[in-house]
Amino acid sequence: MTNTTSFNQQKSMPDSQEQEIHLRDYIRVLKKRKKTVLTFLVLTFFTVIITTFTTTPYYTAYSQVLIEKNSASGSLENSRSYTPYDPDFLTTQFEIIRSANVAHRVVTTLQLDIKYRHYFLQDNKAGAFTFLGNLKRGVKRFLSGLLSSKTPDETTGNKLDKETLPVTAEPKTDADIIAAIIRGNLAITPIANTKTVFITYSDKNPAMAKVVIDAVVQAYMDEILEMKLARSNYTLQWMTSKATEEGKKLETSELALQKYMRDNDLVTTENKLAVYPEKLAEFSSQLSKAQAEQKEIESLNARIKSAGSNYQNIETIPIFADNKVLQSLREKIFAAEQNIKDLSKKYGQKHPSMMNANSERELLLKEKQFEINRIIEATRNSYELAKSKEENLKQLLAGAKQTMLDVNERFTQYSIMKREVDINRVLYDTLTSNIKKSTVTEQSQEINIWVVQKAERPLFPSKPRKSRNLALGLILGLFGGIGLAFFIEYLDNTIKDGNTLERKFGLTVLGSVEEITEKTEKVETFLLKNPLSPFAESYRLIRSSLLLSSPDRPPRTILITSMSPKEGKTATAANMARILSQNNRKVLIIDCDMRRPRIHSLFAVSNSYGLSNYLTGITEKNLVKHLEGENISIITSGSIPPNPAELLNSSRLKLLIDDMLKIFDFIILDSPPVQSVTDSLTLSQLVDGTLLVTRAGKTTYDMMESGLKKMHEVHTHILGVIINGLHKSQNDSGYYGYDDYYSKIETQNKVDTL
């Protein structure tokens, strides 16, 4: 139950909390994968060397050119006008330099398609029948066939288009091909924080590189000038023709306006027209105020009527509540009532003082009622007056509107014609002004181009840069190999060391066994032939850890199993038997792997009769076979039965183990792998503990997790884990510290000290 809890807790632990990765873990990975790193480094470095020394050298000529906008190109009035920032200006100029027009100018100027045709096109002719040339043409034909594949209807449509529109794709001329080559070898590099750029051209011939770069700069300057002149000429022609047309329109519209004004007597109407809108707006504003006032008084009058003769409700209306006279009367009435209340405490109702006080209050109440009636009557009069005022304003507004409509009927057409005259005059004046400016500035340059540094003939090739390429190849190969090593290590999900295994599953790693590199040696006999080797010492360490694995007494019955086949389970059982048999201890090996038994072949004994025969009820005297010269005895598996799991689950096996414990000090059971069958899970209930055998680089953590889950479900007592097949570079410092100590003293001492 304790093992199950530990396993579940360890499984639920996040990977980020397992343990910090140390530098020595990276070094261990690099040592383990050093062949991968070196192989990648060598391949990369030699690839770079071959590519560098077989590449045709190219020479690069460059010219430094200043490119800026001319801020005074479009204005004579302000020659120092501010030039706004244009982030796309230089990028646009770069594209013009790299344009096909500039390249064609270079070809035409230098006659590259005539005098130097062989220089640019010799590679194409020479490679016309090479393998790469044929391959390129085949790929192009294949892609063009895919792109031009159409349905029958589409094919018919294409034929009709060709008949009606005879436009065909013309083949590229030599000038086009050479221009494309020049554009491909041309590069532009801006210089930071300046308006200058480097225009570079690379070629196999240094003289050709210089000639071409000079021609490119000149062609760029000519292209800019031609673009300016072409645009100016077109603009000037367009504006001249447009100005003539607009002048005629202006003259026609002005004559039509004068005739309309004379026919409709509109000479003075324009000045008077502004008065009517003002009156109309004033009457409209007064009417709105009168209507609002009338609505307000009407609402107040309605509230007074709804209150009726209840003066208390009337006094709650704001106009009565806020009236200064009523407020004063209410205060006096309140004071009179207080006086009456005070006098009533001293005198009776018939007392003269009380009678005077009551009469005074009655007088005040009558005054308040009179004031309220007065306000009510004033409100009614105000309402009637507001209605009369509203009617008068409506009549004035209607009269103003009628007068305004009469004037507008004549002025509307006048405004339309006047607007047309103004528009025509503005267009005509603008065109005339622009024509004058364009005539003066048509020869000015909008862009200043100045050659700061002329091109020189390059003396050394610019590429390939051998030193840089070799250094980059070395660095790329080294870091690429390291990255590949860590990537492979990341993908490797197999057991690599004991520390990770203990940390991940909470198991005890009893020890690790190195891989035997000698092909002539066998793992099951290497221990006898080399008793003082690190291989033998590893088993001694495992034996010491195994004997101390139980707090009360060392385990005497031990089950040895693995997660999958070919992990060294049977060889480990044989070597553990030999290491435990030292110091005159008797060890019995029982081969419980009835499916693929191997113990009898390792020790070269007969397997005609064994455990399977005994468990089926057949008893013979020679069940236990003793090895001559060793304290080891063997019970082989016997004949392979059809139902091994049922035989191993019988009570006879338990009785056999109990009887053998009376004779032997240790009993080792070799069982099938856990992942294959359930035999090991059954046998684990009959022994003191189970020893798991894994193989570095083969047993995965997923296999371990699945197998351990099965073993914990049946409460298997796991004594520990043995890791087989480790190389020297993979040995954990926690399990190895002796290095070649025993190999040094092997010639001095042949006796096992344990």
Kindly state whether residues 384 and 518 are assigned to the same domain. no
Kindly state whether residues 315 and 431 are assigned to the same domain. yes
Pairwise CA distance, residues 412 & 479, whole Å? 85
- Contact criterion met (CB below 8 Å) for 588 and 633: yes
Q: pLDDT tens digits, residue range 557-591? A: 999 999 988 888 898 999 899 889 888 899 999 99
Kindly state whether residues 535 and 425 are assigned to the same domain. no
DSSP E strands: which ranges in 601-641?
Answer: 625-626, 632-635
Which of these, 465, 474, 464, lies nearest to 45 by C-alpha position? Answer: 474
74 by DSSP, 3-state: which?
A: coil
Look at the alpha carbons of 405, 407, 410, 411 in this order and tell me if their dihedral is positive or negative. Answer: negative
pTM recorded for the entire structure: 0.50
Kindly state whether residues 527 and 389 are assigned to the same domain. no
Kindly state whether residues 505 and 615 are assigned to the same domain. yes
Kindly state whether residues 615 and 542 are assigned to the same domain. yes
pLDDT of residue 506: 86
Q: What is the CA radius of gyration of the chain?
A: 56
Mean pLDDT of 235-241: 72
- Which residues have CB under 8 Å from 585's CB, separation 6+? 631, 665, 666
Mean pLDDT of 355-366: 82
Burial of 738 (0-12, 13-18, 19+ CB in 10 A): exposed
| Single-letter amino acid code for the residue at 198 | F
Percent of the chain predicted with pLDDT > 90:
17
pLDDT of residue 212: 92
Pairwise CA distance, residues 729 & 497, whole Å? 11
Residue 78 in any domain: the answer is: no
Strand partners, 463: 58
Q: pLDDT tens digits, residue range 107-144? A: 999 988 888 888 888 644 444 444 445 555 566 666 66
- Model confidence at 303, in pLDDT bands (50, 70, 90)? confident
- Contact criterion met (CB below 8 Å) for 485 and 49: no
Kindly state whether residues 503 and 418 are assigned to the same domain. no
Residue 300 in any domain: the answer is: yes
Residue with tokens 């197999």: 494
pLDDT of residue 667: 94
- Contact criterion met (CB below 8 Å) for 379 and 300: yes
pLDDT of residue 169: 58
CATH number (domain holding residue 540): 3.40.50.300
- Contact criterion met (CB below 8 Å) for 58 and 461: yes
- Is the pLDDT assigned to residue 691 strictly greater than 90? yes
∠295-297-303 over CA atoms, to 5°?
A: 105
Q: pLDDT tens digits, residue range 53-109? A: 888 888 899 899 998 887 654 444 444 445 566 778 888 889 998 999 999 999 999
Computed over every residue of the chain, the mean pLDDT equals 77
Pull the structure tokens for residue 149: 């594949």
- Is the pLDDT assigned to residue 189 strictly greater than 60? yes
Domain end position, chosen among 414, 441, 468: 441
- Is the pLDDT assigned to residue 435 strictly greater than 60? yes
Order of strands, edge to edge, in the sheet holding 447-453? Answer: 186-190, 196-203, 59-69, 447-453
Residue 681 in any domain: the answer is: yes
Q: pLDDT tens digits, residue range 146-170? A: 555 544 444 444 444 444 445 555 7
Helix or strand holding residue 55 (H, E)? none
DSSP string for residues in 201-250: EEESSHHHHHHHHHHHHHHHHHHHHHHHHHHHHHHHHHHHHHHHHHHHHH
- Is the pLDDT assigned to residue 306 strictly greater than 50? yes
- Which residues have CB under 8 Å from 512's CB, separation 6+? 497, 498, 538, 696, 722, 723, 724, 726, 731, 732, 735, 736
Residue 620 in any domain: the answer is: yes
Mean pLDDT of 615-630: 81
- Contact criterion met (CB below 8 Å) for 175 and 113: yes
| Single-letter amino acid code for the residue at 725 | G
- Contact criterion met (CB below 8 Å) for 510 and 542: yes
The total domain count for the chain is: 2
Helix or strand holding residue 122 (H, E)? helix 117-126
Pairwise CA distance, residues 266 & 413, whole Å? 11
pLDDT of residue 151: 46
Q: For residue 343, give its domain range.
A: 271-441
Ranges 184-188, 346-350, 535-539: which has the least confidence: 346-350
- Which residues have CB under 8 Å from 730's CB, separation 6+? 28, 32, 496, 497, 696
Percent of the chain predicted with pLDDT > 70:
77
Pull the structure tokens for residue 303: 């509230």
How many H-runs (helices) and E-runs (strands) does the chain carry?
28, 12
- Which residues have CB under 8 Å from 225's CB, separation 6+? 445
Kindly state whether residues 557 and 418 are assigned to the same domain. no
Residue 599 in any domain: the answer is: yes
Residue 106 in any domain: the answer is: no
- Model confidence at 662, in pLDDT bands (50, 70, 90)? very high
Pull the structure tokens for residue 479: 């870091």
Kindly state whether residues 533 and 645 are assigned to the same domain. yes
Mean pLDDT of 403-425: 74
Kindly state whether residues 396 and 545 are assigned to the same domain. no
Q: pLDDT tens digits, residue range 451-482? A: 888 888 888 888 888 888 889 999 999 999 99
∠146-151-157 over CA atoms, to 5°?
A: 110
Strand partners, 60: 202
Please provide residue 103's backbone torsions phi and psi, each rounded to the nearest 5 degrees. Answer: -60, -40
pLDDT of residue 14: 40
DSSP string for residues in 634-688: EE---SPPS-HHHHHTSHHHHHHHHHHHTT-SEEEEE---TTT-SHHHHHGGGSS
Instruction: Compute how many other C-beta atoms are within 10 angstroms of the C-beta atom of residue 251.
Output: 13
pLDDT of residue 77: 43
- Is the pLDDT assigned to residue 669 strictly greater than 90? yes
- Is the pLDDT assigned to residue 31 strictly greater than 60? yes
DSSP E strands: which ranges in 525-564?
Answer: 557-562
Strand partners, 202: 60
Kindly state whether residues 509 and 576 are assigned to the same domain. yes
Residue 318 in any domain: the answer is: yes
Which of these, 726, 730, 753, lies nearest to 742 by C-alpha position? Answer: 753
pLDDT of residue 499: 81
Give 450's DSSP letter: E
Give 753's DSSP letter: -
Residue 206 in any domain: the answer is: no
pLDDT of residue 663: 92
Ranges 296-300, 554-558, 586-590: which has the least confidence: 296-300
Look at the alpha carbons of 303, 304, 308, 313 in this order and tell me if their dihedral is positive or negative. Answer: positive
Pairwise CA distance, residues 394 & 385, whole Å? 14
- Contact criterion met (CB below 8 Å) for 727 and 591: no
pLDDT of residue 520: 59
Higher per-residue pLDDT: 302 or 633: 633
Ranges 169-183, 252-266, 594-608, 621-635: which has the least confidence: 252-266
Domain end position, chosen among 398, 414, 441: 441
Q: Helix axis angle, 2-12 relative to 701-713, nearest 10°?
A: 150
Q: Helix axis angle, 701-713 relative to 498-505, nearest 10°?
A: 40
Higher per-residue pLDDT: 222 or 135: 222
Pairwise CA distance, residues 265 & 213, whole Å? 76
- Is the pLDDT assigned to residue 741 strictly greater than 50? no
Helix-strand-coil split of the chain, %, nearest 5? 60, 10, 30
Domain end position, chosen among 398, 421, 441: 441
Look at the alpha carbons of 418, 423, 426, 431 in this order and tell me if their dihedral is positive or negative. Answer: negative
Higher per-residue pLDDT: 697 or 577: 577
Mean pLDDT of 243-257: 78
Kindly state whether residues 282 and 347 are assigned to the same domain. yes
35 by DSSP, 3-state: which?
A: helix
